[in-house]
Amino acid sequence: MSGGRGARAPSYLTDAVTKAGEPSGTTRKLESLFRYSPAFVLIAICILDTARSADPDLYGHLYFGTQVLRSGHIAYSDPYAYSSIARPWISHEWLSEVILAWCYNVGGVLGLNALKLGCSAVLVTLLILGMRETGASPTAQFAILILACVRMSAQMMYRPQIFTYMLLAATLAMLARDSFRRDARMWLLVPMFALWANLHGGFMVGLGALGVYSLVAGVQDLAAGRGAARLFHLSALTSACVLATVLTPYGTGTWLSVLHTIGNPRTLDVIEEWQPLISATVKEYSLHHFAILFDASAFSLFLGLLISLFLAPVMDDLPLLAVAAVMIAASFAQVRNLPLGIIGVMTPLAYHSSVAWRSWRAGQARPAPQHASMFGQIVVAIIAVALLAKTGFFSRRLRLSIDMPAGAVSFMKQHGITGNVLSDYSWSGYLIFHSDAKDKVFIDSRFEMIYPPKVINDFLAFAFDRKGADVALTRYPTEFVLIDPNTRASLVMARAPGWKLIYRDSGSLLYARVNSRAATMSGLPATGGKPATEFP
């Protein structure tokens, strides 16, 4: 399909290519945001990188990655918990943790910021490469990109997921080139999936996208009478990528670990980011009304694709549309998947919106794109750098998404208190990171990756004051309990015999067994400092 009529844009802005399956001589103009305005690309990167909040999981990721760097090998059993001693540990995020730990050990918080900014830059670059294949105008590409970056910024955190975002965007950019030009170097997907499987369990999302694309593209060729060659080629490629994902220290164990995590009903019940998108959006709106603006940017992208499909119901990119549909469905199923839906929808939206625009403006020449003015680009670049500084890129600290029990941990260190600690799982990473090496936790944010169902059920019973709430205290070698005074677990401790409150502050309560050395200290319960609100 033609990419527009009229005067041809300057060669430094566009490339003329023939779309696969189109008559010879039919060309589309591929217009790149990099050439149109590098400053616009920079501002998109900075918007995507604005979040400076540290998730509780960051403590664990940094500690576990540091241990791999120090020892020179990964751990195959868990040394940090007392509820399931020496249980097998399959960490499908081990390489991400090593990268995060190395950046932090070398550059501190600035090193983490630099890593995230670099990942944001790579992600934006790959998204632009995918949209470029559609022949959409730079204006349309920029509008879609900004909407995407605004919403994804909230989930562009210091976590292994950022590598999945990048690698999914790389996969879809390659599939877009294959769809529109059929000259992509698809074999590169094989080593990419081998790397992906060591970075994050999201490699399964990539395999799903590749499988859907391969099936729909192959069937489409069969229906059009073009034979089964493409179906065979893409099926072989997908199989090779699947095999590449077992090239990890755990082999097929990586698959088993990820599948267990995805299908664990306890994860879906307890962790908010695994909740359905609509219910999570309603809950977030009830707490922070302005949050609806972020979700509105994502919903506008999804709605925009539906409208552009209605206005331009062409199906020559059906394989990409099928992938987008799967990604959108995954987004509505779980809020953590929303960036995947956004990434999946961008290229089809750029293509169909451009087709709809050309159809509506049929017979009228589209103005040739020009460079954004140098003055304008300088202004935008200055704004981008100011945005980085304003959001704390150069700071040595990060905001914590939840407060951490810094006073209680400091009290334990000052008095040489060590042992097995039952605490909220979101605090356990902080304890592992900051406490004595002898301390062990009941459960931590690795949750279903390490702990058997019985341990998880016993913890949930304690945390939510359910039937059997005392099991975590009586049937495990628990020596200390560290809880938030505003949780239901505080009700359990208020009636539990054999425990003494030894420390308290506005954000935490620390209990010890009455027959322990810690419970015999004078001046108990001690009062102390404030909870930590900043990382580290």
CA distances 164 to 129, 196, 340, 498, Å, are: 17, 7, 9, 47
SS3 245: coil
Q: Are 474 and 466 in contact (CB under 8 A)?
A: no
**Average of per-residue pLDDT across 330-353:** 92
Q: Which of 3-12, 34-43, 85-94, 245-254 has the lowest average pLDDT?
A: 3-12
| Tokens of residue 22, six digits | 């189109």
At residue 235, does pLDDT exceed 90? yes
pLDDT mean across residues, the chain: 87
Q: Are 136 and 31 in contact (CB under 8 A)?
A: yes
SS3 261: helix
Question: What would the pLDDT profile of 277-333 be if each residue is shown by its tens digit?
Answer: 666 666 665 656 566 667 788 889 999 999 999 998 888 899 999 999 999 999 888
CA distances 292 to 151, 180, 284, 333, Å, are: 10, 35, 8, 18
Predicted pLDDT of residue 77 = 87
Answer left, alpha or beta for residue 47, where phi above 0 means left and psi between -120 and 50 means alpha.
alpha
**Average of per-residue pLDDT across 102-123:** 97
Q: Which of 111-125, 190-204, 284-298 has the lowest average pLDDT?
A: 284-298
State the angle between helix axes of 318-333 and 203-223 in degrees (0 to 180), rounded to the nearest 10: 140
Sheet holding 398-404, edge to edge: 53-54, 398-404, 532-535
Rounded to whole angstroms, the Cα distance separating 168 from 178 reads 15
φ/ψ of residue 220, rounded to 5: -60, -40
Residue 513: closest CA among 527, 496, 489: 496
Question: What would the pLDDT profile of 420-454 be if each residue is shown by its tens digit?
Answer: 999 988 899 999 999 876 789 999 888 878 888 89
Rounded to whole angstroms, the Cα distance separating 83 from 193 reads 34
φ/ψ of residue 71, rounded to 5: -85, -25
Rounded to whole angstroms, the Cα distance separating 386 from 371 reads 23
Predicted pLDDT of residue 483 = 95
Predicted pLDDT of residue 256 = 86
Question: What would the pLDDT profile of 19-68 be if each residue is shown by its tens digit?
Answer: 544 444 445 567 788 888 888 999 999 999 999 999 999 999 999 999 99
Please tell me which of 80-84, 108-112, 262-266, 273-277 the model is most confident about, judged by mean pLDDT. Answer: 108-112
What residues have CB less than 8 Å from 169, skipping those under 6 apart? 123, 126, 127, 130, 343
Q: From the CB of residue 86, how many other CB atoms can be counted at a distance below 10 Å?
A: 10
At residue 529, does pLDDT exceed 50? yes
At residue 13, does pLDDT exceed 50? no
Rounded to whole angstroms, the Cα distance separating 33 from 38 reads 7
Residue 217: closest CA among 256, 185, 176, 246: 176
Q: What is the pTM of this model?
A: 0.89
Task: Give the residue carrying structure tokens 């005392």.
Answer: 470
Q: What is the dihedral of CA 464, 468, 470, 474, to 10 degrees?
A: -140
Query: 241-245 — which CB contacts under 8 Å span 24+ positions?
Result: 241/189, 241/190, 241/193, 241/206, 241/207, 241/210, 242/193, 242/207, 244/190, 244/191, 244/193, 244/194, 244/197, 245/193, 245/194, 245/196, 245/197, 245/203, 245/207
Q: Are 88 and 75 in contact (CB under 8 A)?
A: no
Predicted pLDDT of residue 279 = 67
Q: Are 423 and 442 in contact (CB under 8 A)?
A: yes
| Tokens of residue 41, six digits | 């690309």
Residue 146: closest CA among 158, 161, 131: 131
Domain map (residue ranges) of the chain: 14-363+372-390, 400-535
Identify the sign of the CA torsion 323, 324, 330, 334: positive
Q: Which of 80-84, 144-148, 269-273, 294-298 has the lowest average pLDDT?
A: 269-273
Outline where 361-444 has alpha helix (H): 374-390, 406-414, 425-434
Question: What would the pLDDT profile of 359-372 be if each residue is shown by its tens digit?
Answer: 777 655 555 555 66
Rounded to whole angstroms, the Cα distance separating 489 from 114 reads 39
| Burial class of residue 453, CB neighbours in 10 A (0-12, 13-18, 19+) | exposed
